[in-house]
Amino acid sequence: MQLSENALKVLDKRYFNKNDQGETVEDWEKLITRVAKDISSNDPVKCDKYKSLLDSGCFLPNSPTLMNAGNDLQQLSACFVLPIEDSMDSIFETVKNAALIHKSGGGTGFSFSRLREANARVRSTNGVSSGPLSFMKVFNAATDAVKQGGTRRGANMAILNVDHPQILDFITCKEDLKELTNFNISVGITESFMQSVYSNEDYDLISPATGEKKGSLNARTVFSLIVEMAHRNGEPGIIFLDRINEANPTPNIGKIESTNPCGEQPLLPNEACNLGSLNLAVMIKDKQVDWDKLRDTVRTSVDFLDDVIDRSQFPLAQIDEMVKSNRKIGLGVMGWSDMLYQLRMPYASDQAVELAGQIMEFIDFTAKERSMELASDKGSFPNFVGSIYSNGSLDRDGIRCNWPDLIASIKKNGIRNATLTTIAPTGTISMILDTSSGIEPQFSLVFVKNVMDGEKLLYVNKWLEEALEAEGLLDKAILDEISQTGSISHNDKIPAALREVFQTAHDISPEWHIRMQAAFQKYTDNAVSKTINFPSDASVEDIRTAYEMAYQLGCKGVTVYRDGSRDNQVLSTGTSVKSSTDPQVAPRSRPEVTHGITQRLETGCGHMYVTINTDDRGACEVFVQMGKVGGCASAQLEAIARLSSLAMRSNIKVESIIRQLKGIRCQSPMWHKGKMITSCGDAVGQALEQFLNMKDKGELASIKIDVSDEKTAEPVFKSSALCPDCSTTIEHVEGCLKCPSCGWSKC
């Protein structure tokens, strides 16, 4: 497979093996050989088949499989759900288990619905409960600690049922975006609640500890609060739990209460799932869908993902048992938008929605057919008896496939996997294959990629590039124009036929986003990860309509994002150019006189004095002194102080600096006033945090921390939300923040 320069950089940074000195010792050929050998258990025939699959550009498994197969860790799944029962033992056992999963590269989902509400009586101590939100903060802090331990950030999903007595607190718990930063949150919605919304009736709040009624709320009012908060900053999402459990393949084993972090994988407690995605962009032949190639790729991909289950070493014995009892896999797609570009089919069209249903039905049918064949060779998943398959109650009606005969055959012969299909975020694997993410429309057809020394390069969608070249329009001037918005929808220099086809996320109305999600959901066992994008001027009623439409069209959940609704703004379609589009950001000048405070902290290296000074726009500089230390230690402290000062005068929020410094560890931690100081860098972070606390309490009344961006009269199209790794503008797609350049993802 021919890899792009961008793909090679992503692979080198995140996937290729390194030696003890951090040097890359692997390339693409060695990576796919390592993975194919491991998943095939060194079976030569299978190994060749799997290696060809990975090298074809037609399929890739989820990142943990690419990273860990054939290595010491050998944890190959991305999605986990852990149980939380209403006891301290269970809560902190789950905290520990979540940390182990995050360390191994997985993401975790939790339902906090079993935890009793705040101030409910705890008989064992004759005290009162602190409630689920307080424990969510414990999980959030634990996730931060694992991240600081040197592994990638763990991601979490928190779900609370709509009838929990603390549901209002939960809905608003991320009003402050500095809280619960390692969580996505979703409200678990029931059918009865939705009916109460439509009839404008009250519904009961039930204590999970006693089953007693603890009050009632108006359903329409609660739904309106969910909508209002989603309009404000994109959270909470909603999960239709009853609908998810209607499709639960093993209802005799348990009830599904939660999903993984991006919402596409509903799982039973202590269950995991390994995912993989087909690249639809390469399933084109003579400007039509290549159904034969798609069928062959689906069949081999099912074989591969089923073998991943047996090769994976799970961090907990109970997860290993549950996974191998149900053998769930999640085969999904990427490259959908790029496929539509090649077919010259607008994303926002009945034609595209119809094709989506046809393709996903074909994938789902072919996957189940192959899984049934595997069951004949290897046996059905152990919990097959009592599943929806054993009684023939699988609910599928088809456009182009013979479902009645297949369902009858599965009932008779069994099936290897309890679920087969999931549409997951494809993140970095779509970058490796140089294609569009999941079923999302392209976010930007041309974007600016930041490289070293302030140089900026234009990344152009290859199908647009090909189309412009055919029209004789491919030149730097027109690409520069497109890069201002990422869209060609209003560019009169480009033919109308191309403008209609090459749609981007903000060219497409929310209605079409949801219709597309619903079309794929109809033939997906699990769920669909997708972001419904709204323009910045979308109203609360627009969000409400989208949520109701998702419910009416059969989606299992929905995530929305209104452009500009978060502090860490992604891409904007406004009308003025801010200084973020300049090649470099210059810090403001230091005044002749500054005022500040000095704090003394005890570190493992000795007494540290941290001075934080302010100018008329807020914190502007940090000085760090420590006893008589010299040499490298002194130089490092000076470097921390200088870089922190530079960041402050460049309008970086102090909170962002704190997050980078706090939790850094060295070999000499020290207790100071009831807090552990884990290193000199951590001490500076804690000093900055104390500085902000003093400001919030009014003890530093003259200090103004938050600095508004200066407005200009120039047209603006992009905001200053930049990737923390490579400084490219980040996007909000597939339910998460993602960098289109280097592969960084919040999730």
What pLDDT score does 716 carry? 28
pLDDT reading at 335 higher than 50: yes
What pLDDT score does 630 carry? 59
Q: 204-213, 331-340, 705-714 — which is least confidently predicted?
A: 705-714
- pTM equals 0.80
Please report which confidence band the pLDDT of residue 80 belongs to, taking 50, 70 and 90 as the band edges: very high
pLDDT reading at 676 higher than 90: no
Which position has the higher pLDDT, 495 or 122? 495
Mean pLDDT confidence for 612-635? 80
Average pLDDT value over all residues in the chain: 88
Mean pLDDT confidence for 237-263? 96
Q: Per-residue pLDDT tens for 269-311? A: 999 999 999 999 999 999 999 999 999 999 999 999 999 999 9
What pLDDT score does 176 carry? 86
Please report which confidence band the pLDDT of residue 669 belongs to, taking 50, 70 and 90 as the band edges: confident
Q: Per-residue pLDDT tens for 97-137? A: 999 999 888 899 999 999 999 988 776 666 678 899 999 99
What pLDDT score does 572 carry? 35
What pLDDT score does 555 carry? 97
Please report which confidence band the pLDDT of residue 321 belongs to, taking 50, 70 and 90 as the band edges: very high
Please report which confidence band the pLDDT of residue 569 belongs to, taking 50, 70 and 90 as the band edges: very low
pLDDT reading at 51 higher than 90: yes
202/220 Cα distance (integer angstroms): 8
Mean pLDDT confidence for 507-521? 96
pLDDT reading at 472 higher than 90: yes
What pLDDT score does 311 carry? 98
Please report which confidence band the pLDDT of residue 717 belongs to, taking 50, 70 and 90 as the band edges: very low
What pLDDT score does 128 carry? 77
Question: What percent of the chain has a predicted confidence (pLDDT) above 90?
Answer: 67
What pLDDT score does 306 carry? 98
According to DSSP, the residues that pair with 534 across neighbouring strands are 562
Angle between helices 403-413 and 350-378 (to 10 degrees): 20
Bridge-based pairing of strands 237-240 and 183-189 is parallel
Mean pLDDT confidence for 237-242? 96
pLDDT reading at 484 higher than 60: yes
Residues in the chain: 747
Active-site positions? 260, 262, 264
DSSP H/E element including 447: strand 446-450
Please report which confidence band the pLDDT of residue 602 belongs to, taking 50, 70 and 90 as the band edges: confident
Identity of the highest mean pLDDT range in 219-223, 569-573, 685-689: 219-223
550/530 Cα distance (integer angstroms): 12
What pLDDT score does 707 carry? 31
Half-sphere exposure at residue 388, Cβ-oriented, CA atoms within 13 angstroms: 17
Mean pLDDT confidence for 46-52? 98
- Residue 128 corresponds to which tokens in the numbers above? 């009162």
Identity of the highest mean pLDDT range in 114-128, 144-158, 215-229, 441-455: 215-229
Mean pLDDT confidence for 629-639? 75
Mean pLDDT confidence for 431-454? 84
According to DSSP, the residues that pair with 598 across neighbouring strands are 611
Rg of the chain in Å (alpha carbons) = 26
Spatial neighbors of 329 by CB under 8 A, at least 6 apart, are: 273, 274, 275, 276, 302, 305, 306, 308, 309, 417, 419, 420
Please report which confidence band the pLDDT of residue 473 belongs to, taking 50, 70 and 90 as the band edges: very high
Mean pLDDT confidence for 261-276? 96
674/684 Cα distance (integer angstroms): 16
309/307 Cα distance (integer angstroms): 5
Please report which confidence band the pLDDT of residue 699 belongs to, taking 50, 70 and 90 as the band edges: low
Mean pLDDT confidence for 608-612? 90
3-state secondary structure of 463: helix
What pLDDT score does 584 carry? 52
What pLDDT score does 702 carry? 41
Bridge-based pairing of strands 127-128 and 731-733 is unpaired
494/472 Cα distance (integer angstroms): 10
> 621-654 b/e with 16+ CB inside 10 Å = b?
bbbbebeebeeeeeeebeebbeebbebbbebbbb
> 361-391 b/e with 16+ CB inside 10 Å = b?
bbbbbbbbbbbbbbbeeeebbebbeebbbbe
pLDDT reading at 517 higher than 60: yes
Best CA proximity match to 659, nearest among 179, 330, 31, 41: 179
pLDDT reading at 581 higher than 80: no
